[in-house]
């Protein structure tokens, strides 16, 4: 995955999400979503445009190019997968899981993301079957109590 840096990746991800939600994306929409001023958005859009990731006509809408959309989808996937892992399997509350996913999505290497994605997929396959692996339940007990659950099948 091409690395743009946290800020530009955040812009791409927001443009992607807004375009899915609203269809057309304006500078004002992006500024509101990221809680930044419009001149900051214009500057970022120019940098993304120079990299061939967005189209933007002055005072017009912002659109992702095919390569911009592809990259934004990868960024969003990383974010979603990390959020799911933190919230659903580690039990981190929604707000903190969201913040940490947003931070980590920019810095993890491809091998780590691929392995973590496979791990989340593995855990979800149990969830879909209505099952909870014993070790995952033991982890939840440990998180709640701070003590290892009694595991008769473990050798000392």
Domain count for the chain, please give it. Answer: 1
**CATH number of residue 52's parent domain:** 1.10.10.10
**pTM confidence score:** 0.84
Q: Are 64 and 16 in contact (CB under 8 A)?
A: yes
In a domain, 152, yes or no: no
User: Would you list the DSSP string of 15-65?
Assistant: HHHHHHHHSSB-HHHHHHHHT--HHHHHHHHHHHHHTTSEEE-TTS-EEE-
> Which pLDDT tens digit goes with each residue over 45-93?
999 999 999 999 888 899 999 999 999 999 999 999 999 999 998 999 9
Range of the domain at 141: 1-147
In a domain, 133, yes or no: yes
In a domain, 154, yes or no: no
Dist CA 124 CA 154 (whole Å)? 25
């Amino acid at each position: 995955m091409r690395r743009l840096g946290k800020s530009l990746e955040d812009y791409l991800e927001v443009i992607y999400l807004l375009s899915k939600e609203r269809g057309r994306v304006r500078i004002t929409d992006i500024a509101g979503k990221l809680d930044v001023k419009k001149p900051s958005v214009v500057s970022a859009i120019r940098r993304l445009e120079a990299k061939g990731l967005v189209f933007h006509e002055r005072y017009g809408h912002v659109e992702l190019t095919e390569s911009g959309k592809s990259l934004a989808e990868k960024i969003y996937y990383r974010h979603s997968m990390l959020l799911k892992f933190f919230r659903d399997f580690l039990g981190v509350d929604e707000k903190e899981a969201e913040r940490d996913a947003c931070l980590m999505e920019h810095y993890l290497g491809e091998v780590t993301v691929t392995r973590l994605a496979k791990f989340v997929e593995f855990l979800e396959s149990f969830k879909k079957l209505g099952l909870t692996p014993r070790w995952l339940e033991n982890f939840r007990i440990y998180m709640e109590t701070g003590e290892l659950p009694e595991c008769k099948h473990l050798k000392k």
